[in-house]
Amino acid sequence: MTGLVAVFVTLPFFLSKGWLHILIVMFFNMSYAVGLWVIMRMGYLSFGHAAYIGIGAYASSMLTTMLKVPVLLSIPISGLIAAVVAFAIGKITLRLRGIYFSITVFAFTEVVRTVWLAFDNPFGGPAGIWNIPKPSLFGFKFSSHLSFYFLTLFFFVLVFLFLRRLDKSHFGFTCLSVQTRETELLAQSIGIDTAFYKNMSFTLSCLICGLAGALYAHYFSFVSPFVFTFFLSMDLIVFIMVGGAATIIGPIIGAGSLTVVSEMALAAGYYRTLLFGILLILVIEFLPGGIVSLYHKPSKRESVGSKDERRSTPKTQ
């Protein structure tokens, strides 16, 4: 583990700007993927996480360009804004199961995007917001690729360590109890307040994505409604499913490999989506546990959503 970190710390000094950019994007994708994973491991497939990445990005853009808030302060604030929105949405949608949750979250994403597109005044409309400042710390400005690389690396490592700790904690284990309808009922029957755990997980998940989104805005210096689309949300899902949804390493491997592969294949835009779609189907059909399962194949019963869970519709009392 420390060896890997050492590699990533020394590597950038030998790399060109192009490669640094790829790695920076890779760390962003890993952060998003790991963030989404927090809620996905509980059986909730969110088709709309791009909205929270976007909310974080837009919030930080607006705070720094319009209110002149220093960047390193506006990023945490934007993350909190995304988390608050997530908390509110979660209150309503998390009581739903399966597809209902996914569709509602997806619908919310589209509503948010429509708002961004429609209002030129604070949000810049279709053109978005430009000239977002780079972060600076005690006078040092993170304007070079190299410096931003370390910033994103630092951010990602922080997120990773925090989540790994959380995963192994009491909270993390309890969250696992919510994977299916049956296990959730079982957990409730012994007094676990599953709604609380679901809410906290969802809020945390969107907090991470919001923070990463805010950082992203400062790297690219520009945000627009066309960045935070359904396709971005789907990218994250592909990362997690290809890497393996069972452990925290899965999304990291998925995001890492797919970002690098798609950059090397020079696949961009719709070609990239096509590639991802094909990979997703291949993985689902032939390797449902993702790349991680090549190391340790889970038994059929362990996979979420298997036939043991008969129905995915919410039951009335």
Partner 1 sequence: MVELLIGSIIEGIMMGFIYILMSLGLTMLYGIMHIVNFAHGEIYMLGAMGVYFLSERFKIPYFFSLLIVAVASVPFGLLIDRVIFRPIRGNWLQLLVATVGLTLILQSGSWISFGILDKAVKSPFKSVVYFWTATISTERLFAAIVGALLVILLVLLIYRTKVGRAMRAIEEDEDGARLQGVSPDTVSAINVSIGFMLAAIAGGLMAPIFVVNPGMGLPAVLMAFNVVIIGGLGSVPGCILGGLFCGLIQTVGAVFLGVELTYGLLFALLIAVLVIRPTGLLGHA
Q: Which CB, 96 or 260, lies closer to partner 1? A: 96
Spell out the residues 6+ positions from residue 112 whose beta carbon is closer than 8 angstroms to its own.
51, 54, 55
Nearer to partner 1, 5 or 110 (CB): 110
Q: Which of 5, 73, 161, 278 binds partner 1 (CB under 8 A)?
A: 278
Q: Which stretch binds partner 1 (CB under 8 A): 5-13, 49-57, 77-85, 304-312?
A: 304-312
When the beta carbons of 76 and 125 are compared against partner 1, the nearer one is: 125
Minimum Å gap between C-beta 70 and partner 1 is 36
Given candidates 6, 88, 92, 137, which one binds partner 1 under the rule CB under 8 A?
Answer: 92
What amino acid occupies position 250?
A: G
Task: Encode 88-140 in three state secondary structure.
Answer: HHHHHHCCCCHHHHHHHHHHHHHHHHHHHHHCHHHHCHHHCECCCCCCEECCE
Nearer to partner 1, 5 or 118 (CB): 118
Binding mask 38-77 for partner 1 (x = CB under 8 A): -----x-x-x------------------------------
Run of H or E including 141:
strand 140-141
What is d(CA 212, CA 59) in angstroms, rounded to the nearest whole number? 12
Question: Which of 99, 137, 158, 294: binder of partner 1 (CB under 8 A)?
Answer: 99
With CB under 8 A as the rule, give the number of residues binding partner 1: 51
Residues within window 202-261 making contact with partner 1, judged by CB under 8 A = 230-231, 234, 237-238, 241
For residues 191 and 207, give the distance between their C-alpha atoms in angstroms, rounded to a whole number: 27
Helices (H), the chain: 2-10, 17-40, 49-66, 71-93, 98-118, 120-123, 145-167, 170-176, 181-189, 194-220, 230-243, 249-264, 269-286
When the beta carbons of 111 and 158 are compared against partner 1, the nearer one is: 111
Q: Find tokens 């890993």 and name the residue.
A: 30
Report the distance separating Cα 262 and Cα 273, nearest Å.
10
The C-alpha atoms of residue 118 and residue 244 are separated, in whole angstroms, by: 38
Residues in the chain: 317
Q: Does 298 bind partner 1 (CB under 8 A)?
A: no
Q: Exactly one of 127, 161, 268, 281 binds partner 1 (CB under 8 A); which one? A: 281
CB of 49 within 8 A of CB of 209?
A: yes
Interacting span for partner 1 (CB under 8 A) from 28-36, 63-71, 162-170, 265-273: 265-273
114 binds partner 1 (CB under 8 A): yes
Q: Which chain residues interact with partner 1 by CB under 8 A?
A: 43, 45, 47, 92-93, 95-96, 98-100, 102-104, 106-107, 110-111, 114, 118, 230-231, 234, 237-238, 241, 270-274, 276-281, 284-285, 288, 303-307, 309, 311-316
